[in-house]
Amino acid sequence: MNFEIKLPLFEGPFDLLLFFIERDELDIYDIPISKITNDFLDYIHHLEKLNIDIASEFIVVAATLMRIKVKMLIPRAVVDEAGNEIDPREDLVKHLLEYKKYKSVLEEFTHLEETRLNLESRGNVLKEIKKLSEGSNVEAELQDLDLYKLMRVFQRVMHRYDISNTKPTHTVVTYPYTIAEQKDFILNKLIATSKLSFLEIYELYKEKIALIYNFMAILELLQLNKIQIQIGLGFNNFWILNKQESEINN
């Protein structure tokens, strides 16, 4: 089943889990951990494809779900001191129920706040109109006006203008790179040539951020054991070798 989720719908990982439970009409006390783990990971992968930074709390919950899933796949059950079988989902269910309770209370308070903001306090209308008219006596204000007051007003206005122009601005820039794409780029280059210099990659991608993405892609390929690194003597450069071809040649 394909579905698309927009990030603003979910304030945190438990909000996302409750969405899956309500969407599929699941029993919160008997969560199908394998299904909900797959849905949760699909959502995180969806964010990665959009190049959106994933909050650490989503990563923690994803790791927790995977740990529970592994525990449930182990045939040997874990028991407590009394010999009763411990359900690995127990802590997760408690957190979800607690979150759901506070979320419902928060929604009620939010509704009450919005209702209260739409109300206006009652008062003496005639007294308020009189007070406003006294404060808007233009003739009296003009009589007390002098050059010093005008300069003070002008000074305050200019000060506000300077502050508004010196406020820091933040610009979010989306870079057209991903680690996954740069990994594919490096592997495809190694198909055409058995040895790839890092300086060659630099000549193709001279942006600083592109250099970082390519270096991280190389580190991931090393971790996956798909490439080898050969370092030359006396040069600030290194060569990338295809792991499979290198093993065949050796």
Selected residue with higher pLDDT from 92 and 244: 92
pLDDT digits (tens, 9 = 90+) for 164-189: 777 776 666 677 888 899 899 888 88
Residue 40: pLDDT over 60: yes
Q: Where are the domains positioned within the chain?
A: 7-110, 179-249
SS3 content of the chain, % helix, strand, coil (to 5): 65, 5, 30
CATH number for domain 179-249, candidates 3.40.630.40, 1.10.3720.10, 3.40.109.10, 1.10.10.580: 1.10.10.580
Residues in the chain: 250
Q: What does the pLDDT average to over 129-144? A: 59
Question: Measured in whole angstroms, how far is the alpha carbon of residue 135 from the centre of its chain?
Answer: 50
Contact present, 89 and 71 (Cβ < 8 Å): no
Residue 10: per-residue pLDDT? 57
Q: What does the pLDDT average to over 13-34? A: 84
pLDDT digits (tens, 9 = 90+) for 185-209: 888 888 888 788 888 888 888 788 8
Residue 1: per-residue pLDDT? 42
Confidence tier at 123 by pLDDT (50, 70, 90):
low
Q: Pick from 218, 236, 214: which is nearest to 228 by CA?
A: 218
Residue 4: pLDDT over 50: no
Percentage of the residues of the chain whose pLDDT score is greater than 70: 72
Residue 117: pLDDT over 70: yes
Residue 238: per-residue pLDDT? 81
Residue 51: partners with Cβ closer than 8 Å, 6 or more residues away: 174, 175, 178
pLDDT digits (tens, 9 = 90+) for 208-241: 888 888 888 888 888 888 888 887 665 667 888 8
For 74, phi then psi, to 5°, come to -75, 125
pLDDT digits (tens, 9 = 90+) for 85-99: 777 788 888 888 888
**33 backbone φψ class: left, alpha, beta (φ>0; ψ -120 to 50):** alpha
